[in-house]
Structure 1
Amino acid sequence: MTSPVNWKPEADKVFCDIKQGLVSTTALALPGYSKPFIQLVNIQQHEAKMRPIAYISSKLVACALPHCIRALIAALMVVEISQLNTTLLMLVNFLQIVY
């Protein structure tokens, strides 16, 4: 992707609505330990093997800061973690294009 993304206010509203829907109580439930768990993992072909795609999960404690500062802090966290694993640099580049 070489062209910049044309992000409009309508897209921001839709994104926020989707995000809110994913974290609402109607989408989430407490685990029932007597039932089986289902885990879905994204995988990708690497040479002769199918391997899980890495992801980063980290808590961002910056609730009182503006959204733009929180986005910068999150990007910094990704860069710091990617220094441990150079393959995550692709994720950083993707975030720069999308955001």
Structure 2
Amino acid sequence: MTAAIPEWSAVCAVDDILPGTGVAARVLGRHVAVFRIGAEEFFAIDNIDPKSGASVLSRGLVGNLGEHLVVASPIYKNHFNLRTGTCLESPEHSVMPHRVRVEDGKVFVALS
């Protein structure tokens, strides 16, 4: 059995995401939130807040909660780990993390 090769989708230019913020994108029909931390670190998770069903995580506040790099949902304020998608308050409400790469000034996402 061979592993599937990820399908990379260009979502935006690097400069379209200000450091410390996120943007929403549709990748192969899925709502994805892409975050830029500092100048060169990018993360992607599902954009749908599992508790509310709204596509809003890309608009949440980014920061640290203890050792975790997180985004806080703008609706219920749950914190989602940007590396793993785990909801720190309610793990049953976790979201999927996705792979991100930057190439030639563009941000690409591959769904997990």
TM-score range, shorter chain: under 0.3
In terms of Rg, which structure is larger?
A: 1
Greater share of residues in helix? 1
Bigger relative contact order, structure 1 or 2 (CA pairs below 8 A, ≥6 apart): 2
TM norm structure 2: 0.25
TM norm structure 1: 0.27
